[in-house]
Structure 1
Amino acid sequence: MTEIERGSGNVYSDIGVPSPDEMLVKAQLAAEIGSILKARQLTQIQAAEILGMPQPKVSEMLRGKFRGISETRMIDCLARLGRDVQIVVKPAPRSRKEGRVEVVIV
């Protein structure tokens, strides 16, 4: 019988990737950027021009290779694509010792 293990909700943490929370945030931001580009039917060359980054970097980001791209840079990409990005800082509930970073796409 195959044993099934429940994931934590963060695949990067589950597979032991360094900085899993950061990677999850980047993955969510990259997915939203990719979704916008697809909806607008932009080529990677057109996207690179709008985003102000080289086409190979756009390609890497859309394929999940975003270690060399900061969250700030991805947020800038979303703004260039006409999205408002809001960062909200609030107290964590008392039930948790540490705060968390999450991406909410509306």
Structure 2
Amino acid sequence: MIEIEETSGNVYADLQLADAEAMYVKARLASKIGDIIRHRHLTQQRAAEILGIPQPKLSGLLRGQFRGGNPPTN
């Protein structure tokens, strides 16, 4: 029989990872940025220029590679 466990809504907290809340917020923010990029039909290069970050950094963010990094400040 398969056991089904109810989630808290935060997969990082469910996995008991350090900084779970911060990771959850970063994941939601990255998802929203991706949504806006698609909605505005931007290339990653153009979106990176608008955000003031290198395109490879944006690519990583959109793929969920943001652990331990802080957002850039202007």
- Using the size of structure 1 for normalisation, the TM-score is 0.63
Alignment match, 1:27: 27
Find the residue that maps to 1:7 and give its secondary structure. Answer: coil
Correspondence list, 1:1-106, <5 A: 1-70=1-70, 73=71
The 3 A distance-change label for structure 1 pair 49 and 68 is farther
Deviation at 1:67, TM superposition (A): 1.9
- Structure (1 or 2) with the greater helix fraction: 2
Note the residue ranges of structure 2 that are not aligned, 5 or more in a row.
none
Q: Which runs of 4+ in 1 moved over 4 A?
A: none
Tell me how many residue pairs correspond in the alignment.
73
In the aligned structure 2, how far is the partner of 1:68 from the partner of 1:14?
Answer: 19
Larger-gyration structure (1/2):
1
Normalised by the size of structure 2, how large is the TM-score?
Answer: 0.87
- Which is bigger in relative contact order (C-alpha 8 A, separation at least 6)? 1
> CA offsets per residue over residues 6-65 of structure 1, 9 Å max, x none?
111110111232210000011111111111101011111111111100111000110111
